[in-house]
Amino acid sequence: MTLYSFAKRMFRLQFRLMGWKVQGADNMPNEGPVILAINHVSMWDPVVAACSIPRKASFMAKEELFSIPILGTIFSKLGAFPVKRGQGDMNAIRQSLTILKGGGVLGLFPEGTRSKTGEIQKGMPGMVLLMEKSQASVVPVKVSGTRHMFTKGWGKITVVIGKPLTPQILKAPEGVENRREWIAEKIMQAMIELPEAK
């Protein structure tokens, strides 16, 4: 058993005890390149999202985390890789495309940082570049209940997985001034419109 599989099994057990619910799991493609576009309210969001799908997912994480002794090594072994925020990080882009062109799953937080209010913010157009170059489907994911799950008692953790948005579905119409921003907005809107988990 790999470290990823072991960690996933342990966290799933913990999350079940915390009332974890996943809705729309059958929307996740069984194969082929996929970008998970996930809202971001807590440091636990990538763990919860990864545990909610059957496939292995690799996540971008801010490079500062990889400088923390031991923790950075664990992140790397779990398939995470660093990204320099606020600039075009070519190493992160290349790593992302390697994952996607290999038919893998890439987890992204298109808001770029955690939402302080919990409301879904504007999406960054970088994910659209990755979609176009890899022809990956984008799967919108809405996570809730993670913000205070270990600090204010155990709350209900829910994950809603939307239907895949293919590059064909997300094609911008003629005349759109900023195509990638338009597509990013459509992806974020699909995330906002996901129903609340029952």
Closest CA to 157 of 26, 9, 37, 44: 44
Higher pLDDT, 38 or 177: 38
**Is the separation of the CB atoms in 165 and 37 below 8 Å?**
no
Is the pLDDT confidence value at 180 over 70? yes
Residue 149 is predicted with a pLDDT of 72
Amino acid at 52: S
Question: What is the distance between the alpha carbons of residues 47 and 29, in angstroms, rounded to a whole number?
Answer: 19
pLDDT in tens, 2-30: 889 999 999 999 888 888 999 999 999 99
- Rg, Å, the chain Cα set: 16
pTM of whole model > 0.75? yes
